[in-house]
Amino acid sequence: MELEGIRVSQNMETNKGNSVLPLMETNKIFPLAVPSTGAILLPVLKNFSSFWADRVESSAPSSGTDKPSSSPAVEQVIASNTIDNESNAQQEFSDSARFFILKTPSTFSSISPFLIEKAITSSIGQVKTICKMRSGDLFLEVTSAKQSAALKTLRKMTHIDITVVPHRSLNYSRGVISAADLLNVSTEEIKENTLDQKVCDVRRITIRRDGQILNTKHLILTFSMPELPQSVKAAYLHCFIRPYIPNPLRCFQCQIFGHSKTVCRGQPTCSRCAEVGHDSADCKAKERCVNSKGDHSLFSRSCPTWILEKEITAVKIKNKLSYPEARHIVSLRTPVSGKSYASAANKT
């Protein structure tokens, strides 16, 4: 898993079944409008040689906790973004799973790629995509539920043992519904009664006001299928689904957008004053944004860098792209002083 106002990351503070959203964000839950990438999308993708599924699989969210909003009335609490950690149901094979990873205790490099491809084709038929990942594992996209079922039974290929696991994120999708009639219904009850629609996780968006956590009518649904459905039925309620778009990924070490702390090579930076070498907990200096260099909080939703990163995240989610690909697309349609859009597009 777009929804305004929730940045999700691993191992962070969260209410069970709930996601806390700042009060100011509840009126912005509709996703950012993403202009059609149209003709520029395919040329852009040609500039990236690394396979997108490889980067999606390896781009694990940051660990740690995010900093709350500086507003005394509103605090932002982060919910978990790692789809494969959300529920036990998601650890199992889904009937609608299309993306898989083949692992081996030895290595695929010792076997002819032609032999591997022929072994896969003879076992389950022609697949849509097969690619070697940077980890050395093989990425497969199947074309049907029949192929998916056959792939699950594979334990050996040529003369080596293999393990087949579903891709940890591509087989799931996230969306947001708003239903006032479900305000007093528990997330467990909603999940139990929508399992037949492939809902495998339900989280309620809440707001924190004056130290109290209040429920809202907005719910984040995780589906055990790659494509997000247009709607879901909750008893006699017909709920329209909007794509869930998390807040931009920000490093908790250097405070820069686009990567997590686990892969950061930068220095620890104060989230309040943007200075290197101390924590923000005891900082009393004047606020300064490390990203835009403006005199505002790092958490400000009016920060031009945050707004840009939000659009990048929307493009990334809606088009199933890697962060570099989405950033490149957005940069092409973002006006630059003294440079025309045509000149930027001609470089792709």
Rounded Cα distance between 112 and 191, Å, is 46
Q: Which residues, including other chains, have CB under 8 Å from residue 111's CB and lie 6 or more apart?
A: 158, 160
Q: Check residue 322 and give its pLDDT.
A: 80
Stretch 289-296: mean pLDDT, rounded? 91
Does residue 104 contact residue 163 with C-beta atoms inside 8 Å? Answer: yes
What are the Cα distances from residue 314, in Å, to 44, 139, 183? 17, 25, 27
Which one, of 255, 228, 251, lies nearest residue 239 by Cα?
228
Task: Express each pLDDT in 194-230 by its tens digit.
Answer: 999 999 999 999 998 888 999 999 999 999 988 899 9
Task: Express each pLDDT in 2-49 by its tens digit.
Answer: 333 333 333 333 344 555 554 434 434 434 433 333 333 433 343 433
Rounded Cα distance between 76 and 5, Å, is 8
Identity of residue 333: R
Choose between 103 and 55: higher pLDDT. Answer: 103
What are the Cα distances from residue 109, in Å, to 104, 136, 160? 11, 8, 12
Highest mean pLDDT, choosing among 149-153, 162-166, 176-180, 305-309: 176-180
Task: Express each pLDDT in 256-276 by its tens digit.
Answer: 988 888 889 889 999 899 998
Q: Give the helix, strand, coil percentages of the chain, each rounded to 5.
A: 30, 20, 50
Task: Express each pLDDT in 230-246 by its tens digit.
Answer: 999 999 999 999 999 88
Rounded Cα distance between 243 and 280, Å, is 33
Choose between 110 and 21: higher pLDDT. Answer: 110
Task: Express each pLDDT in 132-161 by its tens digit.
Answer: 988 889 999 999 889 988 888 888 887 888
Stretch 245-250: mean pLDDT, rounded? 88
Q: Check residue 159 and give its pLDDT.
A: 80
| Residue 15 buriedness (CB in 10 A; 0-12 / 13-18 / 19+) | middle
Q: What is the largest CA-CA distance in the chain?
A: 66
Q: Check residue 281 and give its pLDDT.
A: 81
pTM of the predicted structure, to 2 decimals: 0.63
Q: Above pLDDT 70, what percent of the chain?
A: 69
Rounded Cα distance between 46 and 348, Å, is 8
pLDDT greater than 70 at residue 346: no
For the sheet containing 138-141, what is the strand order?
A: 129-132, 138-141, 99-103, 163-166
Task: Express each pLDDT in 66-106 by its tens digit.
Answer: 333 333 222 233 233 333 344 343 445 567 788 999 998 88
